[in-house]
Structure 1
């Protein structure tokens, strides 16, 4: 379950396969208000070569825009993110001492099975251990961090001299994890191990990526409902901290951008665009016209 946390800050991998084709993927909305227009596109922070080029509706919307708004700009933030992560991820003796006794052997066994040093169990904070386990697991399957859809859009925008702005900061995204109570971090790690063991983690990633790749809204809506109703701690944290708490500020900033500029585009993680507290729902609540293109 806790593997879902990775999808909204670092989730970075997907299997390599298939030919390139420009088809409808993800979710695309047209937002109108204040006499201006914005296109809102749902991305995944991961990619396959076959995902590109993106659908013409997306590339035309970007080409007609004066500004592209992203969660962060991956093309300029990678070095900063790596340094911030390195600083924030190292654990402390007090955090290690709080590890539930039964969790240590399971964690070391998972790390060794993935070819990672078992000593990481006492070097990294629990939330970073969750990310590490996931990244190793999916890297083994060939998942690619360099083919993220948001990164692709950022590169296109820069190449066309379209201004790119960030809705969030690297620090704010890291803080979502680093400010979790230590006991909650260990619980999330415990749930992550169970999810990996059962295969649920892999199934959830496939649901997100397949739903995005096919613009399969039935699958995506079912996944959103699952996250909203699951009572496990990792799902609750996902819903409250990684989605609901961020969607409001995102919607406010996008409304401000729509007021300022005539033609703009925004691209944020797909899960921010589905579910009852989604960014499109919040924009509608502000009185804006929100139409789903696909």
Structure 2
């Protein structure tokens, strides 16, 4: 269990925005602006190396106005001065009157019109990435070439300045570089504020804490606290990953949930080592810039332990349900969507995610709203102090917006919070 303990430690550090309860349920899909297109039963098809997807949900998600000519079997799409047309069975398309050659012609399958996804995406102005291993198609906005947008705000008061950066705690190399405004905020700051300084965590101490808090000490086992179906799914997962079927028997559901999440994470390119938090922690360390912790690891772990038995099992069941036990791609697809949301600074998707978490009141209270109260308190102390200093506060993006968000609460308290 020691090895597993080290694996799931990083998951606790990403709980502020990447939560297993809301991982993507389908390992296959098309992602645009951090959101998966709902294709129903009409899955993408591959022909001669070209991926085709249902036309209507794709173009509607891209905000393309659609006109269908049934007689000529031609679809015309317009958006912001761009006009394109494709005809069923024809490998010739037009873009603003200019003919374009298609590798594969649009076609109709079961009364659904399919079009070449790469042609559509690149014509609209996206870079289209296809992962055969994950079976995911991701549209990446060209604006990312100038650096990931992220979520950044600026607040000033009493001669003090606080930059608020909503973070993703795990990342991969595609999320860098960051846009210049984010880097400038760090350079201008005398202090770096984070949830927890994960660069200085004593893993032995944390594992001891987890064993003490997350283990059953009354002689009972996991199977005595969850349904037979849930326990069976846990043992099946362990077996599928070459682990002992009783590896989680001594642990509470919240610990098992993090262990399952860690098994998901192992097949992705995302790590805490490349997370936004650690990126700035390492930069601050090199510059001897003071680091302020808004929370501590024990507080975060206690939050999970204090969840009711019912919620703990629900989170475990949801996590098991999101995991494809044959190819383990769900976590990667979910993180791909989250990273796209962050890189593009998609506030609409961030608010939607916050509302989704709020659908489970106990979970939302522990994960978001209660912690936000403490974070807002710290930020207001920085703004009202006599230091005349500048701070960069980096916390999970899920804490920023919504009714209880840090930005929202500061605005309600009369502070002028300016999006950067």
TM-score, structure 1 normalization: 0.85
RMSD (Å) for aligned C-alpha atoms:
2.9
State the match for 1:8 in structure 2: 15
State the match for 2:162 in structure 1: 38
C-alpha change, 1:49 and 1:205, in structure 2 (3 Å) is closer
Q: In structure 2, what is the Cα distance between the partners aligned to 1:28 and 1:161?
A: 23
State the match for 2:350 in structure 1: 220
State the match for 1:134 in structure 2: 261
Does the Cα contact within 8 Å between 1:6 and 1:131 map onto a contact in 2? no
Q: In structure 1, what is the Cα distance between the partners aligned to 2:194 and 2:147?
A: 22
Which structure: greater strand fraction? 2
Map 1:50-65 onto structure 2 (within 5 A).
Answer: 50-65=174-189
Worse-matched range after superposition: 155-164 or 196-205? 196-205
Q: For 2:368, which of 228, 243, 250 is the aligned residue?
A: 243
Map 1:113-124 onto structure 2 (within 5 A).
Answer: 113-124=240-251
State the match for 2:404 in structure 1: 277
C-alpha change, 1:81 and 1:150, in structure 2 (3 Å) is farther
CA apart distance, 1:47: 1.1
State the match for 1:290 in structure 2: 417
SS at match of 2:246: helix
Once the two structures are superposed, what CA deviation does each residue of 1:6-56 show, in whole Å capped at 9, x if it has no partner? 8426959xx9xx9x9651332000012223211100111101123233222
Once the two structures are superposed, what CA deviation does each residue of 1:133-185 show, in whole Å capped at 9, x if it has no partner? 11111212333231111011111112122110100011100001012233432
Does the Cα contact within 8 Å between 2:155 and 2:161 map onto a contact in 1? yes
CA apart distance, 1:257: 1.6
Does the Cα contact within 8 Å between 1:9 and 1:173 map onto a contact in 2? no
SS at match of 1:207: helix
Higher relative contact order (CA 8 A, sep 6+): 1
CA apart distance, 1:263: 1.2
Q: Please list every run of 5 or more consecutive structure 2 residues that lacks an aligned counterpart in the other structure.
A: 1-10, 20-130, 132-139
CA apart distance, 1:72: 0.7
Q: For 1:101, which of 225, 228, 242 is the aligned residue?
A: 228
Does the Cα contact within 8 Å between 2:221 and 2:251 map onto a contact in 1? no
Higher Cα Rg, which structure: 2
State the match for 2:213 in structure 1: 88
State the match for 1:211 in structure 2: 341
C-alpha change, 1:160 and 1:21, in structure 2 (3 Å) is farther
CA apart distance, 1:98: 2.0
Once the two structures are superposed, what CA deviation does each residue of 1:73-108 show, in whole Å capped at 9, x if it has no partner? 111125343443344333343353222222221111
SS at match of 1:121: coil
Once the two structures are superposed, what CA deviation does each residue of 1:99-135 show, in whole Å capped at 9, x if it has no partner? 2222221111122223333212303221111111111
Number of equivalences:
281
